[in-house]
Amino acid sequence: MVLPQWFECTHATASIPASRVPRLPTLYRKSIVEHSFLAYLRGRCRKLAQVTVGIGDDAAIIEPARGQQIACVDQIIDGVDFLSEKHALTDVGYKSVAINLSDIAAMGGTPTSILVTLSLPKQNSTRIAGEVYEGILEAASEFDLAIAGGDISTYDGPLAVSVTVLGTVERDQAFLRSGAQEGDAIMVSGAVGGSIRGRHLRPVPRLDLAQRLRQAVKVTSAIDISDGLSLDLDRLCATSGVGAELDTDKIPVHEDAGILSKSSGRTPFQHAWSDGEDFELLVTMSQSDADSLASQELGAPFTQIGNIVGRTGLWQRQQGKLKRLSPQGYIHESS
């Protein structure tokens, strides 16, 4: 691996005899990392029109959004959301951006810039920051995001990466969780389940798909699947004050769910129902809009898995009877 340029900056800046470094106050040591880090980042970041003043001043200056500003933040922590001894830190950096982009996609927005905060364990902080940032820069380049700023600290704790994404959406055109109506079709993009086999590290945020969907139909509500199909559908329904009647056989099960089921003791369906981090889109639209999608090429499949109903909760019709489905995947009998 080619060392990032700021490794050299760090060494150049830290020309203080090594024996003196431990006596430096914490804040001074932080500033050594921070200054060399900023020098590295300035060299690596592309200049994009949306950010007038980026890294290197006290704050960023960002051009006002057309339409409405959209913003979200998500933090991932070693030992909670990933395992640094198992997962490549470049993947962790990429994921920290991509999971936020998935939220922007679920709102029907377009991301423009990011702010990044790294909390680094004291040991190997320079190497860790460099590797994480390789993935962040890769995602920024892939999705045309300006890195507008951020913060970096070292401490006695695990690696934590917090990314804030700013973006735009046309006025009053955002997809919300609250708009699902009785009779609407429930559609899911791609296939779900078993992302832990590796997909969760390199999620594909459905940004382009969401825009193509907007051109094709009127989306009445949307959410991205981060915590599991059933949990996120339950959240969407709860926010809209409705329920869902599902044709569970139609749920598109990812092949990873099938492979995982051979060793997990759970069925492929159970994985599809409750595994997290698929980062697919779950959307609702009128039944006629859903029917019209069958003949349109959006770049990824949308599958109808049921319809919105007035009765709250998740339901499955089996041999004429309604069964209540639990968002955790357990099925309880009901009349």
Rounded Cα gap, residues 312 and 237, in angstroms: 7
Give me the least distance between CB of 12 and Mg ion, in Å please.
42
Choose between 74 and 91: whose C-beta lies nearer to Mg ion.
74
Q: CA–CA separation, 46 vs 6, rounded Å?
A: 16
Q: Which residue lies nearer to Mg ion by CB, 100 or 316? A: 100
Q: Which residue in this structure is represented by tokens 């962790």?
A: 92
Token pair for 166? 């700013």
Q: Shortest approach of Mg ion to residue 72 CB, angstroms?
A: 8
Q: Which is nearer to Mg ion, 226 or 303 (CB)?
A: 226
Q: How far is the CB of 227 from Mg ion (least distance, A)?
A: 8
Distance separating alpha carbons of residues 270 and 131, to the nearest angstrom: 35
Least separation in angstroms between residue 131's CB and Mg ion is 26
Q: Residue 204 or 322: which CB sits closer to Mg ion?
A: 204
Q: How many CA atoms lie within 13 A of 231 on its CB side?
A: 16
Of the pair 73, 322, the CB lying nearest Mg ion is at 73
Instruction: Answer for the pair 291, 229: CB distance below 8 angstroms, yes or no.
Output: no
Length of the chain: 335
Smaller CB distance to Mg ion: residue 110 or 226?
Answer: 226
φ, ψ for residue 32, nearest 5 deg: -60, -50
Strand 146-155 and strand 110-121: the pairing is: parallel
Q: Which amino acid is at 151?
A: D
Nearest to 307 by CA among 333, 326, 287: 287
Nearer to Mg ion, 44 or 177 (CB): 177
Taking the complex as a whole, how short is the minimal distance between the CB of residue 106 and Mg ion, in angstroms?
5
In the complex, the smallest distance separating the C-beta of residue 177 from Mg ion, rounded to whole angstroms, is 9
**Cβ closest to Mg ion, residue 32 vs residue 282:** 282
Listed residue (184, 302, 193) closest to 245, CA to CA: 184
Residues that bind Mg ion (CB under 5 A): 103, 224, 226
Phi then psi for residue 312, to 5 deg, are -70, 155
Q: Is 62 in contact with 168 (CB distance < 8 Å)?
A: no
Q: Where are the beta strands (DSSP E) in 182-311?
A: 185-189, 221-224, 243-246, 281-285, 302-309
Residue 110 CB, nearest distance to Mg ion (Å)?
A: 16
